[in-house]
Structure 1
Amino acid sequence: MPHLGSTVHLRALAAAALSPRPAATPRRTAPAERVVIVSASIGAGHDGAAHELHRRLRAAGVTVDRYDLLDLLPARVGRAVRDGYHRMLVRAPWVYQRIYSSTERAGGGGPLARALLRTAEDRMLRALPADTGAVVSTYPGASRVLGRLRLAGRLDVPVFTYLTDFSVHPLWVADGVDVHLAAHAVPAAQARALGAGDVRVGGPVVDPRFRPPQEAERSAARARFALPAAAPLALLVAGSWGVGPVRQVALELRDCGAAVPVVVCGRNEALARQLREDGIEHAYGWVDDMPGLMHAADVLVQNAGGLTSLEAFAAGLPVASYRCIPGHGPANAAALDEAGVAAWIQDAAELKDVLCDLIDGPRGLLQREAGLALFAAAGRGPADAIARACGDGVPLPAPLAPAPSAVRRTRTRPAVRRLAATAAAACTVWACAVGTAVATTDTGTGVMHAIGRSLDLDDPPHTHHPEGHRS
């Protein structure tokens, strides 16, 4: 993934959260020119979309602030959530698959997850500047927080959700969000099917450095990275964390003979060292010049279907999904395949033939055209809709007042109870993170099912549901 700029005002957030402010953002009497973007530093895809939206809005003359949802959670719970998710993908991917599938069937998270997000609501309001004209979320948890504030009448400016993936999990579609912005008609249709009202297709948002290269740029990029000048190159990426069966896929790419593997391991330097020991000559850790590396490559092989795939489309690089990480990996692969912009290789026996067709065949030409078409008339894409709402205003629905009983609970609930809920959520995340340590015993399996029930993520009693992703 490309290097991302630092998030604005994060260190000032703690001080802002402690300063007194009104319970609700004042209703605007004149056009405002400030947008607040709320992301989450879980991987790099959500922050990457926020970074590019920030750049485009600034170019349109809009003042932009950015916040990380994880910094709005109390008692360092945000760090526990991020670290827990990372460790779960590395040590117990089956746990993440179960959580993803269960929340997909249930239409969203359970009571404990909702309680955790509620702890960010007041901090979110206090963080918003008084002249905020619109708020944009690039992370489903942030959309849930902002949507609840809109429904409760505590936030009276429009809330946008930018859908960063091609597949749309139910957690993305939050009640109270005014507009869901999608990169393509496929995720837009999924969002509508999940109940989203105003869904708009505005195209992807990626750094403009990702564009089709000239032949001289391609040759220069290969020389800069000391890559073979003429051999076909398969760029294998595994996100900013370098998770998934990357080592297996790198060896399969080498052995199938379709292309020389060039592997980017993100911040997983240990994986890069292991690959070099395996004889994979071109294995990198964190790479700042991903546009250049894509200019050098002939095909991208990915396992998650996030921002890197969109960057490859912009660079005119055909994309293959292979041995995807659990949860959103197969779901994104299916959606990308449905949209005709990426091939989904589900059988190792097909790896060589599909890659050859993508590198130097009609399938590759079709996918390059389909990928580039996403950007053909996008302009500033979703940033245009956001900037218009911020500067000119949009009709806002009447906020729904919370039930009186809910208001009483909010006013009388002791701080100790909130802290207890937060601690329970952190413990749940931690337990998921070390799932492999207990999963080999009957007791451990029971613990994981108990965690699922506490999050309302497990299967309902006496009901069988088939496992697996949405196809």
Structure 2
Amino acid sequence: MNALFLTVTAGQGHNSASFALARYLESQGVECTVLDTYKYLSKLIGEIVDVGYKSIARHSPRLHLLMYDNAEKVSEKEKMRKTFLPYTIAEASKSKMQKYIDSKKPDVIVCTHIFTAIIVSRMRQDGVLDARIPVFGIVTDFTLHPFWEDTVLDYYVVANELLVHEARRKGMDTGKLLPFGIPVKEEFSEEIPASEARAKLNLRDKMTLLVVSSSVGFGNIPEIVSDIGKVPMDFQIVVICGRNTRLSKKITETHYNKDVIVVGYVDNMELYMDAADVIITKPGGLTVSEALTKRKPLIITDPIPGVENRNAYFLINNDLAVYAGKYARICDVIMQLHSHPGKIDQMRRAQEVYGKRHSARMTGDFMIDLIK
């Protein structure tokens, strides 16, 4: 069996979902190829999308919100959809994509970004893609991004069954929805005691707050860490900075009132989450999905305006997380949780119901059974 993943680099969430699912499929003997589709079609377009997304999210968040809101309005009007740039790219790239797909001879195609789903849908509509190849869409947030309703795929893997209402409103065939959860590494579905995880990470065995930075550098992490330091309790703060060396340097060189451990890029995030008593992050689809599998108190900070606002609303409305940011100081939120353990219990109960464990395995097994 051969699986072809079509992703687009705009942040790392879509790629992470691709690699998590591909990793599970490979463990089951499936040959997987992950293609950064826009960079394959045109290195220039791929760089513009990636760098442009990161730059706008970091420096012009209001513009990012306006672009997302405009995409939602355009997606609701059939005549306007075709003016959306990804449709033009899809039309221009059909021939090159057809040759690539024919060379790979996949048994299944997986689109982890709406842009690649638009390309594959256009190929299907024009009859240049073998109709016998099943195509899956992976929606990597807790909402349905604009234009998913205009795609022609066989199945849509979504974060939660509650999204069926949004899908129905948008006119999608809800029978095609697979609420398995956003695919994350299988290791996130396993638990080890916090003390054991801390020992493996050479951390002190004491209360631990984990702060996870955005891959695009959005959010004032030093300010968040400083505010956490105002909490009158004894604990350590672990800050995951990823590949943002400038952020790592700034936090390392700053004096805080608590023990602060700064960590760069890690490939064992699941272990750091096991070590934590509380997880603090912005509401990106992948990081939140990873955190929900751990059944830990989750504090979400100010989102990148746009799709992450929708993620935040979903999480808060369903008791999966609490918010801290511009209108709720994080030091106050931490003390509120500490003073009211019933709130933490409520959060964990919701995570048991709506937090999807083994998402990659369930999705992968469904694909394998379909192809057999």
1:370 counterpart residue number = 350
* 2:150 aligned counterpart, secondary structure: coil
8 Å Cα contact 2:8/2:37 also seen in 1: yes
1:380 and 1:285 map into 2 onto residues whose CA distance is 28
- Choose from 90, 102, 115 the match for 2:58: 90
Deviation at 1:143, TM superposition (A): 0.9
Deviation at 1:136, TM superposition (A): 0.9
2:263 counterpart residue number = 284
1:378 and 1:324 map into 2 onto residues whose CA distance is 24
RMSD, aligned α-carbons: 2.6
CA pair 174-62 structure 1, distance change in 2 beyond 3 A: farther
TM-score (norm 2): 0.86
Equivalent residue runs for 1:198-237 within 5 Å: 198-211=176-189, 213-215=191-193, 218-230=194-206, 232-237=207-212
- Choose from 275, 287, 291 the match for 1:308: 287
TM-score (norm 1): 0.69
* 1:173 aligned counterpart, secondary structure: helix
Equivalent residue runs for 1:49-68 within 5 Å: 49-68=17-36
* 1:161 aligned counterpart, secondary structure: strand
- Choose from 172, 175, 180 the match for 1:196: 172
Residue 182 in structure 1 maps to residue 158 in structure 2: yes
1:139 counterpart residue number = 113
* 1:332 aligned counterpart, secondary structure: helix
Structure 2 regions of 5+ residues with no counterpart?
Answer: none
* 1:150 aligned counterpart, secondary structure: helix
After superposition, what is the alpha-carbon deviation per residue over 1:266-309, rounded to whole angstroms, capped at 9, x for unaligned?
A: 21110111112222532222122212211111111111332111
Q: How many residues align?
A: 356
- Choose from 386, 393, 398 the match for 2:367: 386
After superposition, what is the alpha-carbon deviation per residue over 1:145-179, rounded to whole angstroms, capped at 9, x for unaligned?
A: 11111122221122210111112221333321222
1:140 and 1:160 map into 2 onto residues whose CA distance is 11
- Choose from 99, 105, 128 the match for 2:67: 99
Deviation at 1:353, TM superposition (A): 4.9
Deviation at 1:80, TM superposition (A): 1.9
2:104 and 2:253 map into 1 onto residues whose CA distance is 55
8 Å Cα contact 2:3/2:32 also seen in 1: yes
| Letter aligned with residue 224 of structure 2 | V
Query: Between Structure 1 and Structure 2, whose CA radius of gyration is higher?
Result: 1
Matched-pair identity in %: 26
2:135 counterpart residue number = 159
* 2:11 aligned counterpart, secondary structure: coil
Deviation at 1:223, TM superposition (A): 4.0
8 Å Cα contact 2:209/2:236 also seen in 1: yes
Deviation at 1:249, TM superposition (A): 1.9
Structure 1 regions of 5+ residues with no counterpart?
Answer: 1-32, 392-471
1:353 and 1:52 map into 2 onto residues whose CA distance is 35
- Choose from 342, 348, 361 the match for 2:341: 361
Deviation at 1:379, TM superposition (A): 8.1
After superposition, what is the alpha-carbon deviation per residue over 1:218-277, rounded to whole angstroms, capped at 9, x for unaligned?
A: 2243245454422x3221112323322222222222224466432212211101111122
Deviation at 1:388, TM superposition (A): 3.0
Deviates more, 1:356-365 or 1:144-153: 356-365
8 Å Cα contact 1:304/1:328 also seen in 2: no
8 Å Cα contact 1:316/1:368 also seen in 2: yes
After superposition, what is the alpha-carbon deviation per residue over 1:109-153, rounded to whole angstroms, capped at 9, x for unaligned?
A: 644342133333222221114632221111111111111111222
**Larger RCO of the pair (alpha carbons < 8 Å, separation 6+):** 1
2:95 counterpart residue number = 122
CA pair 80-349 structure 1, distance change in 2 beyond 3 A: closer
